[in-house]
């Protein structure tokens, strides 16, 4: 190690997504179909822009769909391996609301992601205070199609969420999500955590 | 949701820890005992200062002990529920080195923590590229003494690390770590993720 000890770090949304925020927030996605369509679209653009893996997330008001935050995977752009889409969306929502518990005061926020979170983001979702998780799919297809390692999830991962007051909804937009992974897998984009590899 | 969509967030070490960095880095902790002693000391001070839970972490060169980064839990200070000690230390190490894979180019970095990571930080460690994890303990005492929820860890959590090239070492400084948790538990400090609670 040479150089100074870092005392802070910053993670940012990519410029193309900042430019897209007006479009995303102007018409709150009222239905699950509309919410998943947004994250599938952003996930696809994200890897093509080179920011990171094909993953996107949003925190929305569960009832109205009003968008609180948006996130994409910025591992490559930020040089930070923890900056998955869920981590960005949850942190940016907490920053916007000025509190570490999104569920405070009875608020009902929903995390929308284009696939089941990896084990890190599974925990991050649990600690965030969201009351619902909506994903397009949950199977091992993501690992098979993209090569990413998602980590060891507990068998009853949904039950563990539900016992902590987080509802889980799976399946809307499933085929579109797989299409994004398929396109990523067919490219030469960087897989920053190869499945089963010890090479990082 | 009122107000703007956030486009970036920053997480910082607390001022007292920044002031302490010279002391921590001047004499690299060469032994496991010395490394764990640092994180136990920082964990204890951290909750007393009000930054977050009683947890601290460091990334060090596994051979020499040269300190690459230091982290403490800053959930309360940052208003970000993901800013556990491990997340801070790993992200600050990656920022200092300018890469998302701490294990690139054959580097052997070790994450030192005062207890077994929660499920979120378990995943974060897995994706970070560190080659070793050193902790003072791993049992449910942390939940019993502090009230924090650590989340559902896979039964073979060590094997999952080892299959990904991450060595695990447990037990040095165990009693001192428990003493920190005991003092925290006896205080009226905020437990931001109560065990088994659905109230966030």
Q: Would you report the helix, strand and coil content of chain A in percent, each value rounded to 5?
A: 40, 15, 40
Give the containing element (helix H, strand E) for B8.
strand B8-12
CATH of the domain at A89: 3.40.140.10
- Two tokens, residue B101: 């894979």
Q: Are B98 and A5 in contact (CB under 8 A)?
A: no
How confident is the prediction for chain B on average, in pLDDT? 94
Beta strands of A35-89 (E only): which ranges?
A: 56-61, 67-72
Contacts A165 to B, Cβ<8 Å: 198-200
- For chain A, say whether B15 makes contact (Cβ under 8 Å): no
Quick one: closest CA in A to B109, which residue? A1
Q: Is residue A18 part of a domain?
A: no
The answer for residues whose C-beta is within 8 angstroms of residue B102's C-beta and 6 or more apart is A200, B59, B90, B93, B94, B109, B128, B129, B130
Q: Which residues of chain A are under the pLDDT cut of 50?
A: 1-2, 196-200
Q: Is residue B13 part of a domain?
A: no
As a whole number, mean pLDDT of residues B61-86 equals 98
The model's confidence at residue B195, banded by pLDDT at 50, 70 and 90, is low
- Two tokens, residue B37: 């002693």
Q: What is the tens place of the pLDDT at every residue in B124-161?
A: 999 999 999 999 999 999 999 999 999 999 999 999 99
Q: Is residue A38 part of a domain?
A: yes
Cα separation, A132 vs A116, in Å, equals 13
- For chain B, say whether A120 makes contact (Cβ under 8 Å): yes
Cα separation, B135 vs A178, in Å, equals 39
Contacts B9 to A, Cβ<8 Å: 10-11, 91-92, 95
What confidence score (pLDDT) does residue A6 get? 98
Residue A68 burial (CB count, 10 A): 26
Q: Is residue B162 part of a domain?
A: yes
- For chain B, say whether A67 makes contact (Cβ under 8 Å): yes
- Structural domain for A47, as ranges: 32-182
- Two tokens, residue A100: 């570490």
Q: Is residue B197 part of a domain?
A: no
Answer yes or no: do B122 and A123 touch at CB < 8 A: yes
Question: Please, which residues bridge with residue B14 across strands?
Answer: none
Quick one: closest CA in A to B83, which residue? A91
Answer yes or no: do A6 and B92 touch at CB < 8 A: yes
What confidence score (pLDDT) does residue A195 get? 57
Among B57, B89, B91, the residue to mutate for chain A (most A Cβ within 10 A): B91
Contacts B25 to A, Cβ<8 Å: 5
- For chain B, say whether A143 makes contact (Cβ under 8 Å): no
Q: What is the DSSP string of B23-60?
A: HHHHS---SHHHHHHHHHHHHHHHHHHTSSSS-EEEEE
Q: What's the ipTM?
A: 0.95
Answer yes or no: do A81 and B124 touch at CB < 8 A: yes
Q: Which of residues 46-65 of A touch B (CB under 8 A)?
A: 61
As a whole number, mean pLDDT of residues B76-96 equals 98
Residue B13 has pLDDT above 80, yes or no: yes
Cα separation, A190 vs A53, in Å, equals 8
Answer yes or no: do B9 and A164 touch at CB < 8 A: no
Q: Is residue A65 part of a domain?
A: yes
- For chain A, say whether B127 makes contact (Cβ under 8 Å): yes
Q: Is residue A95 part of a domain?
A: yes
Cα separation, B157 vs B178, in Å, equals 21
Q: Is A47 helix (H, G, I), strand (E, B) or coil?
A: helix
Residue B58, classified by CB atoms within 10 Å of its CB into exposed (0-12), middle (13-18) or buried (19+), is: buried
Answer yes or no: do A79 and B95 touch at CB < 8 A: yes
Angstrom CA distances, B78 to A70, A98, B141, stand at 19, 9, 26
What confidence score (pLDDT) does residue B53 get? 97
Question: Please, which residues bridge with residue A61 across strands?
Answer: A109
What confidence score (pLDDT) does residue A191 get? 87
Sign of the C-alpha dihedral computed for residues A108, A111, A112 and A117 taken in this order: negative
Total domains in the fold of chain B? 1
Chain mean position to CA A126: 13
Cα separation, A73 vs A83, in Å, equals 6
Q: What is the CA radius of gyration of chain B?
A: 16
Q: Is B169 helix (H, G, I), strand (E, B) or coil?
A: strand
Q: Is residue B192 part of a domain?
A: no
Percentage of residues in chain A having pLDDT higher than 90: 91
Q: Are A35 and A29 in contact (CB under 8 A)?
A: yes
What confidence score (pLDDT) does residue A3 get? 54
Cα separation, A144 vs B88, in Å, equals 31
**Of A8, A12, A61, which has the smallest distance from its Cβ to B7's Cβ?**
A12
Answer yes or no: do B100 and A121 touch at CB < 8 A: no
As a whole number, mean pLDDT of residues B49-60 equals 98
């Amino acid at each position: 190690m040479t150089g100074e000890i870092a005392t802070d770090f910053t993670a940012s949304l990519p410029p193309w997504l900042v430019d897209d925020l007006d479009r995303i927030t102007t018409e709150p996605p009222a239905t699950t179909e509309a919410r998943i369509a947004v994250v599938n679209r952003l996930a696809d653009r994200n890897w093509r822009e080179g920011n990171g893996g094909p993953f996107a997330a949003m925190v929305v008001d569960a009832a109205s769909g009003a968008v609180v935050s948006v996130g994409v995977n910025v591992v490559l752009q930020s040089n930070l391996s923890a900056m998955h889409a869920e981590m960005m969306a949850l942190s940016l929502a907490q920053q916007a609301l000025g509190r570490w518990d999104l569920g405070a005061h009875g608020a009902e926020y929903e995390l929308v992601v284009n696939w089941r979170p990896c084990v890190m983001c599974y925990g991050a979702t649990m600690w965030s205070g969201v009351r619902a998780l909506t994903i397009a799919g949950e199977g091992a297809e993501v690992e098979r199609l993209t090569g990413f390692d998602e980590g060891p999830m507990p068998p009853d991962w949904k039950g563990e969420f539900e016992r902590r007051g987080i509802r889980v909804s799976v399946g809307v937009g499933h085929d579109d999500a797989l299409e994004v992974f398929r396109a990523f897998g067919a490219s030469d984009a960087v897989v920053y955590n190869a499945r089963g590899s010890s090479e990082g």
